[in-house]
Amino acid sequence: MHKLQESGEMYLETILILTNRMNYVRSIDVVEYMGYSKPSVSRAVNLLKSEDYITIDKDGYIRLTPTGREIAERIYESHRMLTKLLVCLGVNEVTAQEDACKMEHDISDETFYAIKNFLNRHDIGID
């Protein structure tokens, strides 16, 4: 397995979010959520499948593998923590969301856990 690029992480995070909302995800759902073209999503989905981050059943439903879910949950948690931290610092919600999206892919494990511990110590939960 190769190191997943930022775009791959974004697709996994999207699949997780959509799975939590709808219990099932197809490529068209990813297209609509992300606003990407069908060919772009198709390429990404095939790559994620070939790297064993997702499976696709005979009806076209996408499911995260344990490895894919682990990565998606880590990215999504990071996104939510960073958004919460930025809002607490006075950044408006929209900007905080956008900035968190950029930051979530490059944050080190050390910084991730430091922010998580800070938020927990100060009883600042993430939604």
What's phi and psi for 46, nearest 5 deg? -65, -40
pLDDT of residue 77: 93
Interatomic CA distance for residues 116 and 72, integer angstroms: 17
Q: 40-61: per-residue pLDDT in tens?
A: 999 999 999 999 999 999 999 9
Interatomic CA distance for residues 112 and 5, integer angstroms: 18
Domains of the chain: 6-70 (1.10.10.10), 76-121 (1.10.60)
Low-confidence ranges of the chain (pLDDT < 70): 1-3, 127
